[in-house]
Structure 1
Amino acid sequence: MSDSSEPRAQHGPVTSEALNQMLKTPCDEVFAFSSDGETYTAPKCLIGTPVRKITETEDYWKSGWLSLETFLAQEKNEEKAKAEAHGQLIRDPSNKNAKKMHKIHTDNVSKHRKIREIFGKNSSYHPNQLVSKHHLPAEGLCSKEIMYKLACKISDCQILRDKGELIMDPFDFIRWRVWLQLRSQLNFAAQSGRDYVKPILSQIFEDCETAMSRPYKDPLLRAAIIRSAGYQNRLNSYGTVANKGKGIDRGTKAVAGSKGIDSKVVRNKVAVSSRVEKTRKRPAQPSTYQGVNGFRAQQRARQASENDD
């Protein structure tokens, strides 16, 4: 697969037609895999990255990366600190420090829960597989604020997938949009994007019209997130531009045929791996990974059918 086959990020006003066209982009137009199906060969930002969720004990893991497991294990401590601060407030409602600490730990607990929901042990997503390790910053992407932002946006994209509008898996979708920004910064084949990934993540979901200094704009992705917010009755979170519906159509119908593609994958029940099969059977999990793995399942099903013939 060549990069020329991938649509580029759009700049300027977003129409509902353009947004729908982006949302129905299938994963096989963006992602490709090694012959054994274990690693990515496209897009370039994922070359060599394992398809399955990585662990911290395998060779792919770099020792300098922040630990996802260690972060997740801190949730109990945050719960305890929140309870202690709450107890202090009950005993002394005028205690300003207790009020401050209660707010801090309440926010931290909320972030931990969302991160665990999307990146926890029952998920097949890992933040350090957003791009290949060649493009990751030295510490990886397992810091609280980065993971929380990614987790929230993955959840927003899952709403669109549940509505039948987004065909790609939500994590795959965000990877694709990040790559469209990253590749414009890479001038030669072996260049690393490690200096660009975090700035891209800090800007790519934000309003393109409020700051001219933001080079990493993706109006289509922003419009998708705002559409999801509309379904969740959260448009006030996105300011006046979102509330006026500028650049997007809130009442857009689901993309025709997108649900059928996913249903076919489920009906085939192709066991790509025990992990994928286990994940597929959890219908209530928004972090279910059915994107590239679903595409691989379709490929193997077709190959098996051809062999039988």
Structure 2
Amino acid sequence: MLASELPAWIARLVAFVFGALWGSFFNVAIYRWPREMSVVSPPSHCPACGKPIPGWRNVPLLAYLLQRGKAGCCGARMTPRYFLVELLSAVIAVAIAERFVVNAAPMTELGEAAIETLLWFVFAGGLIIATFVDLEWMEIPDEVSIGGTALALATATWRPSVPLEEVVLGAGAGFLVVQLLLVWSWERLTGERGMGEGDSKLAMYIGAFLGWRGALFALVAGSFQGIVAWAIARAAGAKIGPSADHSHEEDVASTKREGEAAKGAEEGDEEEDAPSRRIPFGPFLALGAIEFLFFGGAIVDWYLSFFE
């Protein structure tokens, strides 16, 4: 069966449901990986009271809306992140299906288009996880960057939209450019840490999927957008950096950290407040990567047209 023979509405509907379901898993990974917990065991449970969550209370999107943002077992407040991640995953899944299935090249087999769509959704899912973990914890899980890079290299031939040599070069260049210039060199020149190794490995992950052009685009576009966001936040007097509020998940360890941070603030400890003046770069790298996935060719062509 050809991809063009599948009705577009079926492809979009399946993609939306599929994306929302996996968005629920992404939420689990966002919560558990920074805490070094397994995403498999224990099964889904309420972080506030510890009770297992039955399947009918765990339906993506609908569960949050029907329960009005509260846990059905104990009434604890749920973070809007759960709904946002599920919705974002569903929308991105539809966008990827639109490009690689609905608008697949003529005579493309449906199976081939579906495999490529699945792989690009895995890539986007890793970016979603990395974004929300970095926003909250100022770190990027190795499960995303290293595990995702290995998957990207192993499946490169199943993504014909990016040549194999560009994938290999992109992984190496993505890591080395950030690590050499923005981590080691920056620290040597300024005496302060700029980006971290997590950003280098995320750039490697992006390059392994998008190739060296995608990695370079994500780095440049992400840097520009990060600077703009930093300037706007500073001008507005907003706190910059990862959220210290994990209360929506009632995590005992995070509650202890919050108490220690509050105590340090009361004592005028500037070191405790330092992270709030930093801005995580991972989300902007991820944003640049998504922009390149969907609009990179058009943006690059538009830019190069100025030199013709």
Could you tell me the TM-score, scaled by structure 2's length? 0.24
**Larger RCO (CA within 8 A; separation ≥ 6):** 1
Could you tell me the TM-score, scaled by structure 1's length? 0.24
